[in-house]
Structure 1
Amino acid sequence: MGGLRSKSYNMLLLEELLQSYVTVALMLVLMCIFVSFFSRSKDQRREPPGPQPLPLLGNLLQVDLKRLDRSLVDLSKKYGSVFTVHLGPQKVVILAGYKTVKQALVNHAVEFGERRIPQFGNDLSNSLSNGIIFANGDSWKEMRRFALSNLRDFGMGRKAAEDKIIEEIQYLIEVFERHEGQPFSTAQSMNYAVSNIICSILYGSRFEYSDKEFKLMVDRANDNFRLAGSLLVQLFDMYPWIFQWVNRMRFNRSVADNRNQIKQLIGRLQETLNVKMCRGFVDSFLAHKQKLEDSGITDSYYNIENLVSTAGNLFAAGSDTTSITLRWGLLLMAKYPQIQDQVQEELSRVVGSRQVRVEDRRNLPYTDAVIHETQRLANIFPLAVPHKTSQDVTFQGFFIRAGTTVFPLLTSVHHDESEWESPNSFNPSHFLDTEGKFINRDAFMPFSAGRRACPGESLARMELFLFFTSLLQRFCFTPPPGVKEDDLDLTPVVSFTLTPSPHELCAVSREGIKNEYMG
């Protein structure tokens, strides 16, 4: 009997031990699940907030792809200056407001400094992985450094470029004068004039406006800007497996044709290259390439594909954007004649009838303010070219993973109510102090900011000033007969940039106005 009692006692003890082990094991499992869930929830809380995405569609039902920048500004009012949206299955972090955009692009320049290559780049690898705009890594660093150095050598921001611009202005004035004060579109001639400046720096010479090759090159570059921002290309970027046929559309053919044309221009310069007397940027690149090869270095970033991409990038960035801004400037002068009168009064008082020079800028504060306000209100790049995080980063308390697409929302910078007194109005006083002196504003980023800021900023600023002042010296811009100033439409055509809607203006000679008044 004692043996049976002992055996029963041992069995009970074993069962209790087993129950204890199971209880402990269950507790450990539950703790692991709890810790795992808590950690995952914590990670999710650390990520930027945003609207709940739908499967496959993401947040497409909550945004307007035709004015994505406005939709994102509206969302920022609810979710803050750092938030997440899903454009289809693509996760994007949005940076809104001056302080946030500056903090990311300037103070965290390395972390937010890479470019996202769009999906259509898979078929345009040579075009987008080389050059400056979409490239990353050492190739981008070397091409940007070389471009900045050599653009300065060929006059960017200096007197040599100033002389080229002033020469081109005379050709443009001749075109405007041929219309004899009758309505016409400024788009094409303005585009050709501005494009000739970057052509003279790149290739060492300008083109006649009637040159078929030049017209094709300019028109194709403009077309590429429009197509890059089209709805179909946006949808292909989100759903490449659905919209594969878009990749065979006009955009890819246009990019390929443009590259072939640039290669032909480079080939002609290569045939007559004199390394001791470089005519422009392309010659300088070819001379450096030859120097490396002569020293036995054949595998470098200085190859024809990189040259084609860099030249194409500089041409695109240095032509369409500046001409669009100038067209906005003339349209705004026609819409606000009292502001045009003040610009012309200042020009007459300070400069008179002689040619305006860059050094006159400091004595033309009101005119300078009008140009800056045009850039701010026109806001031709509502979204900076998409960035990508180069590494994991904690930004304003939020965790953003490496490789995340980031949109700096420049519209929110130029219309930031905490930075601008009347952000939605054309108000040159934004750039003037109480004494009428010009003041710079930090929340002015038409060329973006940080390590990805536009490399041609100094050239663009010079062009805007000289073209605008020279045209306002010579002409008074008015709406066509029968059209009131209030009827001029400031609604932009939206693509990759914000372009003025098709319109016509009258460029009336100021001499003619004076003669008519005196008569």
Structure 2
Amino acid sequence: MDSLVVLVLCLSCLLLLSLWRQSSGRGKLPPGPTPLPVIGNILQIDIKDVSKSLTNLSKVYGPVFTLYFGLERMVVLHGYEAVKEALIDLGEEFSGRGHNPLADRANRGFGIVFSNGKRWKEIRRFSLMTLRNFGMGKRSIEDRVQEEARCLVEELRKTNGSPCDPTFILGCAPCNVICSIVFHKRFDYKDQQFLNLMEKLNENIKIASSPWIQICNNFPLFIDYFPGPHNKLLKNIAFVKSYVLEKVKEHQESMDMSNPRDFIDCFLIKMEKFEYLGGEVLQDGCAVHSGSRAHTSMTGRPRFQVSMNKAHWELQAGSLRAGNRLRLGLSGVLSSLSNSAEAEASNTEKRLIGPTFLDEGGNFKKSNYFMPFSAGKRICAGEALARMELFLFLTSILQNFNLKSLVDPKDLDTTPVVNGFASVPPFYQLCFIPV
């Protein structure tokens, strides 16, 4: 009986807290759907495709509206104009990273992705400067990408023109570039350490995009007191952290202060200037380049077939436009790109690349709506690396292979199999026929 009373009291307190949070400040917030106590607007959101639900709500409540995910209150910006005003026109005011319980638990506010304030500004400045100046007079980042492009081509040759799903191979290449920059080492595609890292990273992308993680982030008590895939995600992050810290210790023992070999060496040399930072920041060192891997791995899609004879930057624009990997960030901007015209386009090339990127003569045209790496103060730090990888990997493939789809290009389906935090593409098969 006592337990029942305690439960009723707890639920009552939770209900009152929810009602108070929803009522306080409502007059100052943008409009939005009426939330239910405790659960907020969760019933009005398709947690399997949150971005689509937000698009539909924007049609009712406008480009700026308020939502409640459980007890968490958030303001949604949807569409180019709203996002541009926030991230570019008011970039400084909107440069902070929002609260994310699971990410906070995993990273404790460290790293370039989830930190804020002075810590974030200094680690970002250092990261951008190191990437920009890396390899001056020595082995440049471009050299590393070119080497990996050659390895990628050789790996694809092993398929002997037979149908294959190249998703894994195309994901290994940008990941190996990151390893070369951070650890001064690239791995063979069959190296077990490398395979373990790839497995953990890919598994975490899928877990982070699951409905359960959305629930955990909106009801943080679930993280500590309920079983679920979030525990696997945290375990995988701990595995990667342990690996990075092991490499940091190896670097400390063999480092030459006058001759830094990689990103870790550069960080160790500069670390004394960061008063509040310690070795823990290096646990998130790979996050500097995470954007490049996410965007580059999206190029392994069947849309190669329709662009064989076009300039590579046209293919690049089409891939980044159609392959919206981190959907919750900018899907509202990218979906503003003449969706109705694209749906009606009968030309296969225009259907896959997007009519907004092609003029009447079929030539590429720039669009302000194109923000594949975000914008403003938090624009992806790995953008330059990702663009370099996209160009060099794709041109190397197209110079060495004719690509053949197993289905007619007009029947290609690139609908993601997972559509949560990230967009996970479907499996497919493609033939890489040596020229």
What is the TM-score normalised by the length of structure 1? 0.73
CA pair 434-261 structure 1, distance change in 2 beyond 3 A: same
- Match for 1:321 among 295, 313, 326? 295
Residue deviations 1:40-96 (CA, integer Å, cap 9, x gap): 999644420000111112111111011000010000001000001111221111101
Distance in 2, matches of 1:499 and 1:105, equals 26
Residue deviations 1:124-174 (CA, integer Å, cap 9, x gap): 2xx240111010011111100000000111159x99222221211111111
Q: Is the 8 A contact 2:293 2:386 kept in 1?
A: no
Letter in 2 for 1:416: S
Deviation of the 1:432 alpha carbon: 4.1
Q: Is the 8 A contact 2:183 2:264 kept in 1?
A: yes
The answer for unaligned runs of 5 or more in structure 2 is: 1-21, 345-350
Q: Is the 8 A contact 2:307 2:315 kept in 1?
A: no
Q: Is the 8 A contact 2:337 2:356 kept in 1?
A: no
Q: Which moved more, 1:203-212 or 1:76-85?
A: 203-212
- Counterpart residue number, 1:303: 278
Number of residue pairs the alignment of both structures matches: 404
Q: Is the 8 A contact 2:51 2:327 kept in 1?
A: yes
CA pair 186-455 structure 1, distance change in 2 beyond 3 A: same
- Match for 2:331 among 402, 411, 415? 411
Letter in 2 for 1:415: S
Asked if 1:136 corresponds to 2:116, the answer is yes
The answer for unaligned runs of 5 or more in structure 1 is: 1-39, 344-363, 385-409, 512-519
Q: Is the 8 A contact 1:417 1:423 kept in 2?
A: no
Deviation of the 1:194 alpha carbon: 1.1
Asked if 1:233 corresponds to 2:216, the answer is no
CA pair 420-430 structure 1, distance change in 2 beyond 3 A: farther
Q: Is the 8 A contact 2:181 2:262 kept in 1?
A: yes
Secondary structure in 1 aligned to 2:74? Answer: strand
Distance in 2, matches of 1:168 and 1:43, equals 53
Secondary structure in 2 aligned to 1:132? Answer: helix
Asked if 1:245 corresponds to 2:226, the answer is yes
CA pair 42-76 structure 1, distance change in 2 beyond 3 A: same
- Match for 1:422 among 322, 338, 342? 342
What is the TM-score normalised by the length of structure 2? 0.86
- Counterpart residue number, 1:443: 369
Letter in 2 for 1:214: F
- Counterpart residue number, 2:157: 177
- Counterpart residue number, 2:327: 382
Q: Is the 8 A contact 1:420 1:430 kept in 2?
A: no
Deviation of the 1:421 alpha carbon: 5.0
CA pair 476-122 structure 1, distance change in 2 beyond 3 A: same
Q: Which moved more, 1:88-97 or 1:494-503?
A: 494-503
Asked if 1:468 corresponds to 2:413, the answer is no
Distance in 2, matches of 1:427 and 1:501, equals 18
Letter in 1 for 2:413: D
Secondary structure in 2 aligned to 1:426? Answer: helix
Distance in 2, matches of 1:228 and 1:42, equals 31
Q: Is the 8 A contact 2:110 2:280 kept in 1?
A: yes
Distance in 2, matches of 1:77 and 1:427, equals 25
Letter in 2 for 1:380: R
Q: Is the 8 A contact 1:119 1:240 kept in 2?
A: yes
- Counterpart residue number, 1:74: 56
CA pair 155-100 structure 1, distance change in 2 beyond 3 A: farther
- Match for 1:369 among 309, 314, 319? 314
Letter in 2 for 1:245: F
Q: Show the 5 A alignment for 1:268-283.
A: 268-283=250-265
Distance in 1, matches of 2:391 and 2:308, equals 17
Q: Is the 8 A contact 2:338 2:356 kept in 1?
A: no
Secondary structure in 2 aligned to 1:129? Answer: coil
Residue deviations 1:13-57 (CA, integer Å, cap 9, x gap): xxxxxxxxxxxxxxxxxxxxxxxxxxx999644420000111112
Deviation of the 1:486 alpha carbon: 4.1
Residue deviations 1:366-397 (CA, integer Å, cap 9, x gap): x312211221122112112xxxxxxxxxxxxx
Q: Show the 5 A alignment for 1:326-341.
A: 326-328=299-301, 331-334=302-305, 339-341=306-308
Letter in 2 for 1:272: S
Distance in 1, matches of 2:257 and 2:343, equals 51
Distance in 1, matches of 2:209 and 2:169, equals 23
Distance in 1, matches of 2:211 and 2:242, equals 26
Letter in 1 for 2:299: L
Deviation of the 1:322 alpha carbon: 1.6
Q: Is the 8 A contact 2:342 2:354 kept in 1?
A: no
Distance in 2, matches of 1:105 and 1:238, equals 24
Distance in 2, matches of 1:327 and 1:232, equals 28
Q: Is the 8 A contact 1:222 1:320 kept in 2?
A: no
Deviation of the 1:340 alpha carbon: 2.8
- Counterpart residue number, 1:404: none
Letter in 1 for 2:432: A
Q: Show the 5 A alignment for 1:285-304.
A: 285-289=267-271, 292=272, 300-304=275-279
Letter in 2 for 1:228: A
